[in-house]
Amino acid sequence: MNKRLAGKVALVTGASKGIGAAIALRLADEGALVAVNYSSSKEGADYVVSEIITRGGRAVAVHGNLSEPEEIKSVIDATKKAFGAIDILVNNAGVYEFSPLDSITPEHFHKQFNLNVLGLLLTTQEAVRAFSDKGGSVVNISSGVSTITPPNSAVYTATKGAVDAITMVLSKELAAKKIRVNSVNPGMIATEGVVAAGFHEGDMRTWIESVTPMGRIGTVEEIASVVAFLASEDAAYVTGETLHVTGGLR
């Protein structure tokens, strides 16, 4: 594989499983030194790190719950300590819960906004301070829900609409620092979380596939390859974009 990211330092949040793990593996395959952030699954993060090392790359697992502001700085510090200045931040950590309007509670709201929006903002704030003067790339993992707007997802969809807006704002704000900011908005992807929620089979998947022009759900690798492109110099003039990787569903 062409090592487009040779020598670059990447922090991938929420990278112990699913899309985050696939992104960490792909960036490492492209030559990046990868900090694999996890909140609860040390075992998962250690497995991702061992896979990267087996494939000839370099990686470390970095613990931190990014919904807790006081833990964010330690994640950035551990990344810098391991590899030096950061070049690439992938804001993948996130949670989702679906609820009809009648069942929405402050807890349901804050659980998702504290990580998906506030956590993303504060992590980006701290990471940007650790970028070198050469700049770099921030890739936010948003969601196709920000345009698909499925029922019973008011709070989750609101968090991802916020991520899309933040992406566009920060692309303008950080351009002078040579930092590009883009968003990848996946459709339904076959991940452990989707399986755990029961969405990988039954009515939800059937509906998604029936309205998706390509007629299927996506894979984690199909998201990771787009992130690798946006993180690389192949996307040197791309910033402020929300790239929907949804099989054509909007």
Tell me the β-bridge partners of 11.
Answer: 35, 89
Closest CA to 19 of 243, 231, 222, 228: 222
Q: At what angle do helices 106-113 and 154-173 cross, to 10 degrees?
A: 30
- Which residue in 47, 96, 156, 237 is the catalytic one? 156
Residue 188 structure tokens: 């339904």
Alpha carbons 250 and 239: distance in angstroms, whole number? 21
Alpha carbons 193 and 189: distance in angstroms, whole number? 9
Alpha carbons 15 and 35: distance in angstroms, whole number? 9
Query: Is 156 a residue of the active site?
Result: yes
Enzyme catalytic residues: 156
